[in-house]
A and B are shown apart, each in its own frame.
Chain A
């Protein structure tokens, strides 16, 4: 199975409460909190699409969009 390729980090700043859980537990240190305490992908190309941020987020504020396989 091909490694999932990141399409984008879909982040909802209205729902994000800046708790920092996704930031801390990202295995590749992709995420950071901006000046408004909202998460953003500081190093998006390092993302390995493990989705732990999406699974752990208490606010359903972050989603990892994966590139669809082309048939």
Chain B
């Protein structure tokens, strides 16, 4: 293996490598701990391949700029953390409503508000789902190690193009800042989904919001031969504003269904020892590293532990979780927040009373010891 394909880098850099591999053309961002490295690295790397980088005046402008750039046919991304993610919500809703592909990285830190900029939490899970107003669907993906950060970043761009939707990459300060080995795949090794452009010829009526038979919506670049309107108002298939109840209902259903009807295709997860597990740990992001350690260190001692590591958080894979956890005695959700994914797991499983929370919310990374102590308490074994 060529030496230059192996790197020992931060998770933030692994994300940058994944984005460049996926064909990133344009990045607009604003510095915020712990995501700033993504902006810094891209300011360096993007122009080297003819791509464009701009540091905007704030996160609202960053999110707006990438949407504008996406319309000209670019693959786009921005990166931020909690406070910036809050600012981006309105424009994120705009990208959802106008079905514009883009990737938003949120490297989570302690919150709410300014919180603890340099320490970890996983507190933005529900915000990723519902941060922007109105009924809507969103895709949110996370990862616990650098190889997965690379792959989920590529996947985010692919999902974004396939479904014409923004995709949120929800990483966290631990995995974003720690250094680990990354093997960069060869070109062509990971499949890429390119922008689907319309085959409708010049002069022929082009409908930017009319799905093809296979459900995909071909786009047309601004500057190209089709002139259409893009608006955040409810709109008809040509993109012009409408408050007609049929159109409103149809569009809203389409925006939600295109994601919700494809939960299983979009879902990504990793499973370890689930078949005979009595206690299943469900975790994601950097917490999953500790959960993984607990399972792998206890199994040889005969404890029937299993791990379901979620990579797709939204749309939440309820059916998959229910199926995988059907035979478990206890389910323990490991996360660094006050039970945001635990609530979803409770909704998913047959008996919610078998779901417990092993968490940490003080900015300190949750350790295997923390998890083991909570497991002992759950099992009635005391500390």
Judged by CB atoms under 8 Å, the answer to whether A and B touch is: no
